[in-house]
Amino acid sequence: MNPRCRPADHLSRRALLKGALATTAGGVFMNWGDLFGSAAHAKDVAKEQKSCILIWLNGGASQFETFDMKVGRPTGGPLRPIQTNVVGAQICELMPKMAQQMDKVAVIRSMRTSQIDHPGGIHLMHTGYGPSANVRYPEIGAVCAKFLGREKPDLPNFIKISSNGDAGAGFLGPNYQPFGLDHDGRLPQFAVSNLDPKIEANRNELRNFAEDSFALDRKVEVAGMHREAYESVRRLQKTLKVFDIEQEWAKHRDLYGDTKIGKGCMLARRLVESGVAFVEVGQSGYDTHADNFAGHKGLVPPMDHAWAGLLTDLHQRGMLKNTLVVWMGEIGRTPSINNRSGRDHYVRAWTTVLAGARIKPGIVYGETDLDGKDVKDKPVTEGDFFATIYKSLGINPNKENFQGVRPIPLAPFGSNVVEDLLA
Amino acid sequence: MNRLLLSLLFVSLPLVPVRAADPPLRNCIDEQVKAAWAREKVKPAPLADDAEFLRRVHLDIIGIIPTYDEAKAFLDDQSPDKRAKLIDRLLEHPRYALHQADEWDQVLFGRNPPGYETQRRPTFQRWLQEQFAKNVPYDKWVADILKAEGTTVDDGPPWFLAQYDRQPEDAAEKITQTFLGVQLQCARCHDHPFEAWKQVDFYGVAAFLARLQVVQFDKKNNELKAMIGERNTGEVLFTGPAAQQTPGKKGEPIKPKFLQGEALAEPAPPKDLKEERSLPASKAPAKPYFSRKDKLAEWITAKDNPYFARAVANRVWAQFMGRGLVHPVDNMIAKNLTHPELLTACAQQLSAQNFDLKWYIRELCNSQTYQLSSTGEVEDARPTWFERARVRPLSAEELLESWRQATGYDAVAAKAPKPPQGRFHGVTWDYMVRFFGQPNNGTGNFQGGLQEHLYLNNGEVSRLIATDKGSLHQTLLDDKRPWEERVDQLYLSILTRPAKPAEKKKFAEYLSSGDKPAERLREAIWVLLTCSEFRFNH
């Protein structure tokens, strides 16, 4: 499509758009073009593509009941810390499985962000920007779809599995809109054709004729785009098998844990393996203004299991070096415990976690003070966080998109990449 | 750009009345566009044939394709001035106001207006339609919008500013972009890197709006009931470049100042004036001792405002011609200006005609430039030198109403015992907005999307292919002529043109094979409803 791209770029992009990807589990589930005459080659090319999986903790998980425990302090709460496979890094007892994966992750204990409520926070931590009246900022998933996504893909480049955030593609446009699934891989409305395949094939042939007829004396590019978007629907219909996870789930249930979030995480891995640039998996219920501790006892263990399973699986498949796994919600929770045993919203000092891609594994970055009320060292803003994410994926965070004539950098102007987090 | 260039770009408009001897604007348009072709060595497309022109002008003026009968009558008409007569007829069509109001509603609000309470705004939309139906001059209705008198349940004008409750900076950005074609928002955080704008220019405009607030009474049938109140006191605070901000830094109040002009002369406040932080809710706000907002409205829409006439002349030009003479339309800087003399001519004449948009649209549509074919090798959907007609996607509104018209869905529904109410029936309107509402990449260029086609392929479009008596489907099935002739009617009904021989042959083959002609005809109709030729106005 783009006449300016170099042959080398073209080769790899084309390879990916056609990419047939064999899973280690066995079956080839994508249509496989004959560009290279070798499935192995396409697989290698696909392996070098960066992808991102976001585990989204909607409502805002507590840093005190996960990665930043304040043992024996009035803000600490009743839960106990446990040792991990990284010397000196203790985490909450609710995460025994992640304790054995700490050598793969970088914990940021010094997040300081600017939106304290849910709608603002959800927007902020999906886009890097606070909500604005006049700019429709794109979510990180849309940005990744644009910059990491395969051209002419068989699958959408931005997939959300039961997750939140409604900024979507923003001004980047319909090509980067999220494709929403539930944990079982159930497809969104209108994704599946109910037409008899024979009738559909016939009418498709007639439709191609009509398109050819229009293209005969008009070379206008938008008609080409319209036609290509239709072809992407045809390709998607052929690859719907990838969303049917039952067979593979039977094999991996123990690794991920038999829960919704477990299923979602395995589906995310499966999609990334099939060439999807960005997958977000959501878990809801963290807004624990009341019964914070009981709430986290219910929510964290299944998430711990799923997340640890995902990291193990990605690692074993050799995918972790090119897949960034982000763990965050929209806000942290207050150091003080309210009279309903709850914790409220807090953004002055909280925690996020990164793993994979270029992230330095097995580190804890930044520090909060004795009671977790403030960042003691190395604060990380939302802008710094997004800049670091983009850089770890090989995307220049200063790159600009445009809404009208207005340049919008991927990470807000003035953000700094946290180089210490990158290997 | 320096101030000198800026003043060249926005030369003020002398108030010259148009004399009868002046050639019509349409001639001036064609001369200037031709001169640019010669200079740029561009080869133009031929004139559009009647069918191509017919579909285009219907969609552009009244937002819907013609019916089969209308198309046939126009193509059969042998009179030499039939195009001009058609334009006149469409300008008097009841849908003229409807469609032009749709267009401007999107300019003023977009699909996702700020402030969730302006998402639904039937009162505004009805009011705007009235302005077009009565052909109220553009400067008059813009002044009404900016003065924002009345309540949102009874009046249209307050809706626009209701988007920006206590957000003077956001309102200033939107107003200057929309009505003046200038991009001030860079200067919100820093002096503009390439233009003359300083931060104080931006805050000088925002200061006019600093005292505004949406005073909400209630909701009526889920519609916002509010007025735009203006306090007696309140300033915008300027804290210097964003990069040098420190928490807690207190800003300097900035006084209202006209863009590139004088500071606003304000009368001294009454002696007993108390500071007002907020207007009381649920009570109609009193008028302030002095309205800054009204002064801004008067300055923006003044005859001698150098930006106003050029901005609207350019925006409406772009609506019909695909791109502005300065492109993009909301960034009117010298380097984006391709046809300087032509823009000046359009702006001067439009101003001299008292901002009569109907007159302007008539001139645009009667020009040869507008009537060029969209065929040719140029790939750009909106060619820079207007060497062929632009190709633009149909809006969600145009698509749905044109689909229904083409299939005879409306004709059938009109005869039902309880005809459907409202404009957007037949499918779920929310889906139409979601999948077809903003099919662009942020800079106004079309972008195809998977979800649009999932909807076309697997969604509700097939519902619109009515099969009852009187529908296109049933009419063609009952018709006993050979399929080749019926295919001609199929094409004219949906694509507003006769079928070419190869198309007749192909479709006739398709329709006559197998033993289920009704099913095949449905699919053939679906093909024409969803193909690129229908999706775009070309």
Mean pLDDT of B61-70: 98
Which residue, chain included where needed, has tokens 């497809």?
A: A187
**Residue B167 CA to its chain's centroid (Å):** 24
What are the backbone dihedrals phi and psi of residue A180, each rounded to the nearest 5 degrees, phi first? Answer: -95, 130
For residue A192, the 8-state DSSP code is: S
C-alpha distances (whole Å) from B270 to each of B4, B267, B290, B295 are 41, 9, 10, 19
At B368, list the tokens: 């040869």
Nearest CA-CA distance, residue A301 and chain B, Å: 36
Q: Are residues A94 and A210 in the same domain?
A: no
A15 lies in some domain: no
Amino acid at B228: I
At B112, list the tokens: 């996702």
Q: Are residues A320 and A282 in the same domain?
A: yes
Interface residue A236 vs chain B (CB under 8 A): yes
Closest by CA to B20, choosing from B367, B352, B261, B488, is B352
Does residue B429 register a pLDDT over 80?
yes
Does residue A275 register a pLDDT over 70?
yes
Whether A313 and A25 have beta carbons less than 8 Å apart is answered as no
Nearest CA-CA distance, residue B283 and chain A, Å: 26
Q: Return the pLDDT at A7.
A: 34
In a mutagenesis test of the B interface, which of A220, A221, A236 is the best target, namely the one with the most B β-carbons within 10 Å? A220
Q: Give the total number of structural domains in chain A.
A: 2
Average pLDDT over chain B reads 91
User: Which stretch of A415-419, B229-233, B417-421, B443-447 has the lowest confidence by average pLDDT?
Assistant: B443-447
Does residue A16 register a pLDDT over 70?
no
**CA B344 to CA B325: how far, in whole Å?**
10
Does residue A9 register a pLDDT over 70?
no
**CA B357 to CA A195: how far, in whole Å?**
47
A156 lies in some domain: yes
In chain B, the percentage of residues whose pLDDT exceeds 90 is 77
| Interhelix angle B483-495/B501-512, nearest 10 degrees | 110
Whether B98 and B433 have beta carbons less than 8 Å apart is answered as no
A368 lies in some domain: yes
Q: Are residues A304 and A256 in the same domain?
A: yes
In chain B, the percentage of residues whose pLDDT exceeds 70 is 94
Q: Which residues 176-215 of A have a C-beta within 8 angstroms of B? A: 177, 179, 189-195, 199, 202-203, 206-207, 209-211, 213-215
Does residue A31 register a pLDDT over 70?
no
Number of other CB atoms surrounding residue B457 within 10 Å: 25
Q: Are residues A173 and A94 in the same domain?
A: yes
C-alpha distances (whole Å) from A333 to each of A77, A111, A121, A329 are 12, 12, 13, 10
Angle at the Cα of B150 from the Cα atoms of B149 and B156, rounded to 5 degrees: 90
Range of the structural domain that residue A203 is part of: 191-243
The most confident of the ranges A175-189, A238-252, B74-88 is B74-88
Q: Are residues A146 and A211 in the same domain?
A: no
Using only the alpha carbons of chain A, give its radius of gyration. 22
Whether A173 and A164 have beta carbons less than 8 Å apart is answered as no
In terms of residues, how long is chain A?
A: 423
Q: Are residues A157 and A204 in the same domain?
A: no
Mean pLDDT of A321-342: 97
A6 lies in some domain: no
Q: Return the pLDDT at B197.
A: 77
Does residue A34 register a pLDDT over 50?
no
| Beta partners for residue B253, in sequence order | B237
Amino acid at A288: T
Alpha helices in A216-291 (DSSP H): 221-238, 246-256, 260-273
- The 3-state secondary structure of B306-365 reads CCHHHHHHHHHHHHHHCCCCECCCCCCCHHHECCHHHHHHHHHHHHHCCCCHHHHHHHHH
Q: Are residues A195 and A328 in the same domain?
A: no
| Beta partners for residue A377, in sequence order | A367
Q: Are residues A209 and A179 in the same domain?
A: no
Amino acid at A116: I
Q: What confidence category does residue A37 fall into, taking pLDDT thresholds of 50, 70 and 90?
A: very low
Nearest CA-CA distance, residue B317 and chain A, Å: 18
Q: What residues of A are in contact with residue B533 (Cβ under 8 Å)? A: 210, 213-214
**CA B314 to CA B302: how far, in whole Å?**
17
Question: Who has greater pLDDT, A43 or B102?
Answer: B102
Preceding amide of B328 cis, omega within 30:
yes
Interface residue A2 vs chain B (CB under 8 A): no
Quick one: which H or E segment has residue A313? helix A292-316
**CA A302 to CA B358: how far, in whole Å?**
65
User: Which stretch of B179-183, B333-337, B338-342, B513-517 has the lowest confidence by average pLDDT?
Assistant: B333-337
Q: What residues of A are in contact with residue B330 (Cβ under 8 Å)? A: 404-405
pLDDT tens for A310-331 read 999 999 999 999 999 999 999 9
Mean pLDDT of B272-286: 88
Q: Return the pLDDT at B176.
A: 94
Amino acid at A318: G
Whether B247 and A112 have beta carbons less than 8 Å apart is answered as no
**CA A63 to CA A60: how far, in whole Å?**
9
Closest by CA to A154, choosing from A57, A72, A276, is A276
Q: Return the pLDDT at B306.
A: 83
Nearest CA-CA distance, residue A36 and chain B, Å: 27
Strands A332-333 and A81-82: unpaired
Closest by CA to A92, choosing from A53, A63, A130, A126, is A63
**CA A29 to CA B151: how far, in whole Å?**
60
Q: Are residues A110 and A223 in the same domain?
A: no
A341 lies in some domain: yes
Q: Are residues A274 and A136 in the same domain?
A: yes
Number of other CB atoms surrounding residue A254 within 10 Å: 11
Full DSSP string of A143-155: HHHHHHPPSS-SS
pLDDT tens for B113-153 read 987 689 999 999 999 999 999 999 999 999 999 999 999 99
Enumerate residues 6+ apart whose C-beta is below 8 A from A166.
A122
Q: Return the pLDDT at A33.
A: 29
| Beta partners for residue A290, in sequence order | none
The most confident of the ranges A151-165, B220-234, B289-303 is B289-303
Whether A69 and A99 have beta carbons less than 8 Å apart is answered as no
Q: What confidence category does residue B21 fall into, taking pLDDT thresholds of 50, 70 and 90?
A: low
Of A243, A258, A283, the position where a domain reaches its end is A243
Whether A310 and A325 have beta carbons less than 8 Å apart is answered as yes
Domain limits, chain B? 3-46+308-390, 122-129+138-240+250-264+273-300, 393-537
CB nearest to B524's CB, from A134, A206, A211:
A206
Q: What confidence category does residue A14 fall into, taking pLDDT thresholds of 50, 70 and 90?
A: very low
Q: Are residues A340 and A214 in the same domain?
A: no
CB contact under 8 A, B444 and A404: yes
CB contact under 8 A, A214 and B531: yes
CB contact under 8 A, A175 and B375: no
- Looking up residue A396, the CATH number of its domain turns out to be 3.40.720.10
Q: Are residues A263 and A222 in the same domain?
A: no
For residue A166, the 8-state DSSP code is: S
| Beta partners for residue B230, in sequence order | B212
CB nearest to B447's CB, from A175, A179, A232:
A175
Interface residue A238 vs chain B (CB under 8 A): no
**CA A357 to CA A366: how far, in whole Å?**
20
The most confident of the ranges A1-10, B127-136, B257-266, B267-276 is B127-136
Amino acid at A103: D
- The 3-state secondary structure of B404-446 reads HHHHCHHHHHHCCCCCCCCCCCCCCHHHHHHHHCCCECCCCCE
In a mutagenesis test of the B interface, which of A226, A276, A415 is the best target, namely the one with the most B β-carbons within 10 Å? A226
User: Which stretch of A162-176, A259-273, B201-215, B515-529 has the lowest confidence by average pLDDT?
Assistant: A162-176
**Residue A103 CA to its chain's centroid (Å):** 21
A46 lies in some domain: no
Number of other CB atoms surrounding residue B456 within 10 Å: 23
Does residue A129 register a pLDDT over 60?
yes
Using only the alpha carbons of chain B, give its radius of gyration. 26
Nearest CA-CA distance, residue A351 and chain B, Å: 23
At B514, list the tokens: 């197998």
What are the backbone dihedrals phi and psi of residue A375, each rounded to the nearest 5 degrees, phi first? Answer: -80, 125
Does residue A25 register a pLDDT over 60?
no
